[in-house]
Structures are given as structure tokens and as C-alpha cells.
């Protein structure tokens, strides 16, 4: 008899992994939580390569905003922008750009829904119970579902991480601010470029994107510490790029990169952010999840054994995720450096910016 897989989660990872399992020898159920997709994410060359092996390029292109360059700039005490480094992406054959989370999820979801054999439940799973060779899922409507395997793609706060790791409580949280603007002036200044702006209170990442078919600008502000809020600027030019009226949303991201936890227990396999909470400094959270999906897709080409798939993933892929998290932590520290270390960082970016980007980012993008 066909084994059943239940995917918990309604975000990017859930629909991504569901699209890997359709047309395989499993019956697939998706327990879709709430759909709260905010803003956009960067798709780096490795993510693009993976994504285009999963969905049709032509479906992505209309909602994808490509970047031509990466600019690293400093906002000085007079609120003047000083260019430290300009990295040209047009020399690379690879594609780098952005896509809104809503569009990304919709494209993956449409692909899954086109397969009539997948069952979708609008349901929040509260408890996972291990019961003799089967797993029982309990939802908020007090329904019980039986399944052979679970893929927990319900993020860091979900029931799956609690079942596998023992707790879904996160400590040492880092505050990160996110915003979007539909202002044309901002978009025109952000056009085609990924900008990293270093400031005495943190750093901004600004890039163009498409939100609900409109040209938009996506903002991230990473403060030096959790007590700092995004700065307000007097300079007219800076206000075009970073309007003071931005409606910032706060995300709390786990900062425990040294904590190595399990990702599999009694038939429940964690996937996406639930498995590897990732610091966003390298913009690799989602891109690495796309690579994880390709790893599993390739495995399933020749072998439908779920437990062997998980074992192979843990042995061959988990290490890469640890490395990315460590690199991300180092990049985050460098970008947030102040005073004397910040001064030397700026000098290094000015003199060796291109080489630094190649050494740090290219290695990740090519993986
Ligand atoms: C500030 C910031 C910037 C980022 N920028 C980038 C970037 O540029 N590029 C990139 O690649 N990545 C980026 N990331 C990372 C990327 O956003 C995440 O890796 C990705 O969103 C993780 O998706 P996920 O589906 O695993 O988890 P989540 O997005 O957390 O989704 C979890 C889903 O599970 C559902 N759920 C939760 N509990 C239950 C339950 N009990 N039952 C059913 N469903 C449940 C939720 O409703 C939600 O839909 C960034 C992250 C942050 C915070």
C-alpha cells in the first residue's frame, strides 16, 4: 500500500516540499496553517538554479526583479551616501534578483494543486503523537489524522520542531525590521541594484521587487542591538530612498547558531526554517531550502524509501547548512561592526570589495 506523507505548514517550505513529493509513490496531505507572507526575498544564483529545476522559468520571470549590481555604501554622519564598493553582476552568467514571498508561494502552490491526488487541509496542527508504527496529528478543530510520515515545514514555532527537538521556544532572539514601499521615487533609486547601507546604528539592505504586480522596494534594517530602531533621516535624498513613513514590521530571528539539534524523530522530518533556523545576513535562508529540496528531489529519482532519504540528507547535506549559518554569523558581525572595526571594515571594502564579495558570496552562490 502507498505510504502517506503529511506536510505541516503553509509557507514557502511546505509548498516547495509538496511539489517535490507530487507524482512520487506517496499519498500527500498538506496541513496549511495561516498564510502570512510579507515582503520579498532575494533569490541568489544557487537559489535560482534550484528553483528553475522545480518550477517553470516562464512562471517566475513576470514576478522576478533581476539585479545588475551590488552596492555597498556608508551613510556618514552628515547623512551623505559614500560608495564603498560596486560589484557588477552583469559579467556573471548567473541570475540574481528578488521575488515576493506571496508570488513564490503561489507559484509553488499552483504546481501542487494541479495534481489532483494531493489533499489540502486548512488546518493548524497542535500536537503530533507517536502511536505504534503510525503518527497521529491533532488539529485545533480537535480532528485526528493518521499518517506514516510527517514533514514538518511549520517554521521555528510549529508543532513539528517541538516534537523533534523537544521545545520550540527560542532564546537569544535578534530583532530585524522589514518594510516595503510602493513609492516610485524609492523604486527609481533602488532600481536594478541590491544596496547594503552601513550606518552607525545598524545596516540596511534595500532592493527592488514586484509586490502585487506593482514595482516596489523591499527594506531590511538590522540594528546593532535589540534596543535600536531604524533611524529617521533629515536628508531629502536619503528620504527618497528610505522614506521616514515606512511601516516597519519586526521579525525575531533565533541567534543560537552554535546549537546543533536533531531534524528527525520517529517518522517526523523537519524541513525549511523548522529544521535550520538561519540568520538572514547572507540572504541564504530560502536559497538553501531550495537547495535542500533539490537534494531530496534527486534522491527520490531512484529511491522511494523515506527513512533512507532522511538518513542521506542528514549525512550529506546537514553539514553545509551549519557552514552557511556560521558564515552568515560572521558576515552579520562584520556588517554591524562599529568604531575602529567598522572603520577597518570600510577600508577593506573600499580596497578589496570585489574580492571580498567573490570570496564570501560566490562560494555560497556556486555551491
Ligand atoms: C528579515 C529576513 C530576511 C530574509 N531574507 C531572505 C532572502 O533575501 N533570501 C532568502 O532566501 N531567505 C531570506 N530569509 C529567510 C526566508 O524568509 C525563510 O527561510 C523562509 O521564509 C522560511 O520558510 P518556511 O516556510 O520554512 O518557514 P515560515 O516562513 O516560518 O513558514 C512556516 C509556515 O508554517 C505555518 N504553521 C506554523 N505552525 C503551524 C501549525 N501548527 N500547523 C500548520 N501550519 C503551521 C505558518 O502559518 C507558516 O505559513 C529572510 C528571513 C528574514 C527573517
162 CB within 6 A, ligand 1: no
Phi-psi region of 195 (alpha: psi -120 to 50; beta: other; left: phi over 0): beta
Q: How far, in Å, is the centroid of ligand 1 from the Cα of 325?
A: 16
Q: Are 161 and 274 in contact (CB under 8 A)?
A: yes
Q: Are 290 and 13 in contact (CB under 8 A)?
A: no
Q: How far, in Å, is the centroid of ligand 1 from the Cα of 132?
A: 32
The tally of domains found in the chain comes to: 2
Q: How far apart are CA 10 and CA 30, in angstroms?
A: 8
Each residue's pLDDT tens digit, 183-226: 998 999 889 999 999 999 999 999 999 999 999 999 999 999 99
Residue closest via CA to ligand 1's atom 50 equals 280
158 CB within 6 A, ligand 1: yes
C-alpha cell at 358: 567573490
Whether residues 17 and 125 fall in one domain: yes
pTM exceeding 0.85: yes
221 CB within 6 A, ligand 1: no
Share of the chain above pLDDT 90, in %: 70
Residue 339's pLDDT is 83
Q: Name the residue among 97, 11, 20, 21 with its Cα closest to residue 60.
A: 97
- Residue of 260 and 166 predicted with greater confidence: 166
Tell the residue number behind the cell numbers 515606512, with chain if given: 246
Whether residues 96 and 117 fall in one domain: no
SS (H, E, C) 278-307: CCHHHCCHHHHHHHHHHHHHHHHHHCCCHH
124 CB within 6 A, ligand 1: yes
Whether residues 109 and 30 fall in one domain: yes
155 CB within 6 A, ligand 1: yes
Whether residues 163 and 223 fall in one domain: no
Q: How far, in Å, is the centroid of ligand 1 from the Cα of 155?
A: 6
8-state DSSP, 245 = T
Q: How far, in Å, is the centroid of ligand 1 from the Cα of 350?
A: 34
Q: Is the dihedral of CA 138, 143, 147, 151 positive or negative?
A: negative
State the CATH number of the domain containing residue 179: 3.30.9.30
Each residue's pLDDT tens digit, 252-300: 987 766 666 799 999 999 999 999 988 888 899 999 999 999 999 999 9
Whether residues 51 and 130 fall in one domain: no
Whether residues 176 and 309 fall in one domain: no
Whether residues 157 and 271 fall in one domain: yes
Whether residues 192 and 322 fall in one domain: no
Whether residues 205 and 81 fall in one domain: yes
Q: How many CB atoms lie within 10 A of CB 138?
A: 16
Residue 137's pLDDT is 97
State the CATH number of the domain containing residue 8: 3.50.50.60
Whether residues 121 and 223 fall in one domain: no
Q: Ligand 1 test: best mutation among 105, 286, 335, 367, most atoms within 8 Å of CB?
A: 286
Element (H, E) at 53: helix 45-54
42 CB within 6 A, ligand 1: yes
Residue closest via CA to ligand 1's atom 20 equals 286
Task: Give the domain range for residue 69.
Answer: 42-100+172-255+330-366
Whether residues 179 and 296 fall in one domain: no
Q: Ligand 1 test: best mutation among 19, 154, 365, most atoms within 8 Å of CB?
A: 154
Whether residues 212 and 335 fall in one domain: yes
Amino acid at each position: 500500500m502507498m505510504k502517506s506523507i503529511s506536510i505541516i505548514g503553509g509557507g514557502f517550505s511546505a509548498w516547495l516540499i509538496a511539489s517535490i513529493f507530487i507524482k512520487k509513490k506517496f499519498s500527500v496531505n498538506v496541513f496549511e496553517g495561516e498564510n502570512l507572507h510579507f515582503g520579498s526575498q532575494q533569490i541568489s544564483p544557487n537559489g535560482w538554479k534550484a528553483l528553475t529545476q522545480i518550477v517553470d522559468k516562464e512562471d517566475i520571470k513576470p514576478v522576478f526583479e533581476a539585479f545588475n549590481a551590488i552596492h555597498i555604501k556608508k551613510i556618514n554622519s552628515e547623512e551623505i551616501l559614500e560608495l564603498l564598493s560596486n560589484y557588477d553582476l552583469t559579467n556573471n552568467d548567473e541570475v540574481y534578483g528578488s521575488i515576493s514571498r506571496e508570488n513564490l508561494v503561489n507559484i509553488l502552490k499552483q504546481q501542487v494543486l494541479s495534481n489532483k491526488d494531493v489533499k489540502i487541509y486548512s488546518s493548524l496542527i497542535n500536537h503530533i503523537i507517536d502511536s505504534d508504527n503510525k503518527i497521529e496529528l491533532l488539529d485545533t478543530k480537535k480532528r485526528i489524522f493518521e499518517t506514516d510520515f510527517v514533514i514538518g515545514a511549520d517554521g521555528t514555532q510549529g508543532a513539528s520542531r517541538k516534537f523533534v527537538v523537544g521545545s520550540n521556544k527560542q532564546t537569544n532572539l535578534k530583532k530585524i525590521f522589514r518594510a516595503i514601499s510602493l513609492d516610485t521615487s524609492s523604486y527609481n533609486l533602488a532600481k536594478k541594484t541590491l544596496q547594503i547601507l552601513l550606518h552607525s546604528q545598524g545596516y540596511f539592505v534595500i532592493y527592488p521587487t514586484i509586490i502585487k504586480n506593482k514595482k516596489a522596494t523591499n527594506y531590511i534594517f538590522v540594528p546593532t542591538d535589540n534596543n535600536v530602531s531604524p533611524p529617521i533621516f533629515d536628508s531629502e535624498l536619503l528620504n527618497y530612498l528610505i522614506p521616514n513613513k515606512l511601516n516597519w514590521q519586526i521579525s525575531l530571528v533565533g541567534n543560537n547558531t552554535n546549537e546543533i539539534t536533531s531534524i528527525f524523530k520517529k517518522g517526523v522530518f523537519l524541513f525549511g526554517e523548522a529544521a535550520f533556523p538561519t540568520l538572514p545576513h547572507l540572504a541564504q535562508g530560502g536559497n538553501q531550502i531550495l537547495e535542500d529540496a533539490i537534494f531530496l528531489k534527486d534522491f527520490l529519482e531512484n529511491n522511494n524509501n523515506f527513512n533512507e532519504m532522511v538518513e542521506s540528507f542528514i549525512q550529506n547535506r546537514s553539514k553545509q547548512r551549519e557552514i552557511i549559518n556560521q558564515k552568515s554569523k560572521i558576515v552579520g558581525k562584520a556588517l554591524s561592526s562599529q568604531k575602529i572595526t567598522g572603520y577597518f571594515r570600510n577600508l577593506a571594502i573600499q580596497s578589496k570589495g570585489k574580492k571580498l564579495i567573490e570570496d564570501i558570496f560566490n562560494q555560497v552562490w556556486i555551491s
